[in-house]
Structure 1
Amino acid sequence: MARLSRFFFSFTRLLNSILFFLAVLVLLTTEKSSALYGEMLDGTSITLHWTAPGDDGNVGTASVYEIRCSTKDVGADTASWWAGAITCPGVPAPQKAGTAESFTITGLEPDSIYYFAIRTADEVDNWSGVSNIFSTAYYSCADINSDANINLLDIVFLMNYLYRGGPKPYDIANSDVNGDGQINILDNSYLINYLYKDGPEPMCNKQN
């Protein structure tokens, strides 16, 4: 929704001192939260990340977030999905526009696929649209760069993270390819053996 504001300006000495009024209509909207994504902590917890939008466009500070989740796929009807999704309690208040935000959700069912989305409202309850939909289905063991494939790019991604200051894997648990509880060069060696030398399948947290 948008907030409608009215501003009035008067001008005199126009056309023989006839008085005119000019009304300027300004639509001020609450922006969507940008680029919602998640980082799996274990089989039952996830930390969601996004960037704070503004109160009016991309400036100021919004008033409230609402995060919803569901095990039902979104499909083509986001509005119906949102209406039927569960509201996640305890989401913190928004910070200043542009701030990196995060929120951890616990108590998820192991081996279940969850879908998450977020909306934002301003102080007069104008709600933004629904963000992008983030799903835990994007992750599988050894898919280190989270592109739904396991290949050489995952090896390169982990090397960049470990030794070149590259980005952290979104699902750090599924980067523990050999399942020893640590993320290091041994995971890349394990993945190389699996991909190119007929080695055993990735373990991640499946060792127990």
Structure 2
Amino acid sequence: MEIPFLTNQIQFPSLNQVHPTGIVAFGGDLSLPRLQLAYKNGVFPWFEDGEIITWWSPNERMVLFFPELKVSKSMRSLFAKNAFTVTFNTCFKEVILNCQQVKRTDQNGTWITDDMVEAYCELHKAGWAKSVEVWQNDLLVGGLYGIDLGTIFCGESMFSTVSNASKFAFISLAKHLEAQNYKLLDCQVYNDHLASLGCREIDREEFLSYLK
């Protein structure tokens, strides 16, 4: 099955014809209108520096339904002690730059390229991209950022410079979104860390039904 290349037109192929890998298309750009259209339709960019822009809509989507959030005993203790201070959307660029610089064991480089940083900062200015910040003694020690669709938050990346700070950000965001009556937190693709927090996979069609 051939994977299509995008043209200058701001559109994506039908998700009824997604490649078995979950790749929707190659190419295009990271312009504000294209990124907005992508997220509204369950598509996101994911590629490493030096690669062509690759757009994904995984067959199995990792999500968190808020009643299923798992908070370990040790994390409950940190919340009880107010071990960190959490803010929302106060220093987006610092958060995404920290996420860019995190060393990840299974990747040669970062998928958060300089072009991605610039594009998501534009999304932030437009009110679409938002961040969660975790502070310790007035130092930014953890956080995450993602795309806020109003009833679904699409998490993009997390970072932590001290133990448990990114988990603190994730749990704080989940509680905040639940209080605001969001449907779910989109975590895109499976990993063990997300599973330990209560996230699970649902198929693409179910995920798209929540987007609609």
- Give me the TM-score of the superposition, normalised by structure 2: 0.21
Greater relative contact order, per chain length (Cα 8 Å cut-off, separation 6+): 2
Greater C-alpha Rg:
1
Structure (1 or 2) with the greater strand fraction: 1
- Give me the TM-score of the superposition, normalised by structure 1: 0.21
